[in-house]
Amino acid sequence: MDFELDDTDVAWRDSVREWVDKKYPKDKARELEASGEQFPRQLWEDLSEAGFNGIGIPEQYGGQGGTVFTQALMARELTRNLGGLIAVWLAPAVGGTLTLLAAASEEQKKELLPKMATGEIKFAIAITEPGGGTDLLGGMRSTARLDGDEWVLNGQKMWSTGAGHADLLMVLARNVGDDGEPKGYNLIMVPGDTPGLDKRHIPKLGVRALASYEVFLDDVRVPVENIVGERGKGWKGIAAGLNADKVLLASCSTGILDGVLEDARRYLSEREAFGKTIDHFQVLQHQIVDIAAWRHTAELVSLHAAWLLARGAPCETEATMAKLICSEYAVKAADIGLQMLGGLGYSAETDMQRYWRDARLWKIAPITSEMSRNFIAGKLGMPRGF
């Protein structure tokens, strides 16, 4: 296997790195997150102007082309500086794109994807429910029933990131059959200003710059053509993007490892104690080596999973392993990095605390480390453990 990026990939990676260092250096990203802005519109507009929202959207639909491998390279480079601000790209742009490409009609793709590529419209995914959590489908109580030429939606969703500023919410709900019985699931696009749709902001520990919301659906009515995919088969559209979601979060976690290693090495080479810079201390050197080794591992598994997915090869296990390994290493590294910086690391004036808070989410969402291990155990032929 050739582990080298080709010239095109290297040029792309370097161009993204140059862009983020110029437009959003770490001090600017830190200030932006600290501002409390729940949707950094300027960042969104800058990402759109750079063409990043069009990466992964085929040229025939107005995008820049590229595969999930192209997106993975970009996600890593952006996250090195942006940290959790990467959600401004991931949630409104990528989540909706993957679902539309997998399940939307040709007419929907032609109408929506060009607008997504330019940043004209933003999506939010509304799937998780208060009583569901990881048991996504088993705990789903929201319903969608057909009433003439309209869908009527009722229910409640949790952790819909970006919903407060989304033009369209992608809502998954139980399909109520014509006989009144639940039959599968419907995936339905709901405009953000639809009557009966309410949203409540959920304060978070990390990834603060793109707010998450609790969503309430009270007899929300949308046209029948707003369904994505076939009636009763809405889970197909969501499932199609799960591997890509895991791959991209693995790449984001690798970007966190880049940022942590960069900041830790700089600090150790500048901070003096007991008559010399503290990078002379063996215990700190060993910790730096551990972080570097974790980053090397994360790079290999994340790019391998992205490489498989971009070629259409089966990769459920590899994508899940990549997300599991990379997110756990990112959290460990950020915690050690924060400890290295001591009181300064605990200060909001540094980026290490931001990396620590942001990376912690990716051990939980969109699938927990524990459920990742359960899934992999099943793939290894072990009995169901939950």
pLDDT attached to residue 27: 97
Residues 37 and 98 in one domain: yes
pLDDT of residue 2 exceeding 80, the answer is no
Provide mean pLDDT across the span 9-29: 98
Residue 331 covered by a domain: yes
Q: Which amino acid is at 359?
A: A
pLDDT attached to residue 50: 97
Residues 96 and 131 in one domain: no
Provide mean pLDDT across the span 272-280: 97
Residues 38 and 135 in one domain: no
Residues 361 and 280 in one domain: yes
Residue 319 covered by a domain: yes
Query: pLDDT by residue (tens digit) across 325-346?
Result: 999 999 999 999 999 999 999 9
As a whole-number percent, the residues of the chain with pLDDT over 70 amount to 99
Residues 47 and 104 in one domain: yes
Residues 106 and 13 in one domain: yes
Mean pLDDT of the chain: 95
3-state SS of the chain: helix, strand, coil percent to 5? Answer: 55, 15, 30
Provide mean pLDDT across the span 93-101: 83
pLDDT of residue 1 exceeding 70, the answer is no
Name the domain count of the chain.
3
pLDDT attached to residue 155: 97
Q: Which helix (H) or strand (E) holds 282?
A: helix 282-310
Provide mean pLDDT across the span 265-269: 98
The closest of 209, 198, 191, 215 to 41, measured between CA atoms, is 209
pLDDT attached to residue 245: 93
As a whole-number percent, the residues of the chain with pLDDT over 90 amount to 90
Provide mean pLDDT across the span 187-203: 97
Neighbouring residues of 25: CB distance < 8 A, sequence distance ≥ 6: 81
Among residues 68, 88, 122, which one ends one of the domains?
122
Residue 2 covered by a domain: no
Among residues 230, 248, 270, which one ends one of the domains?
230
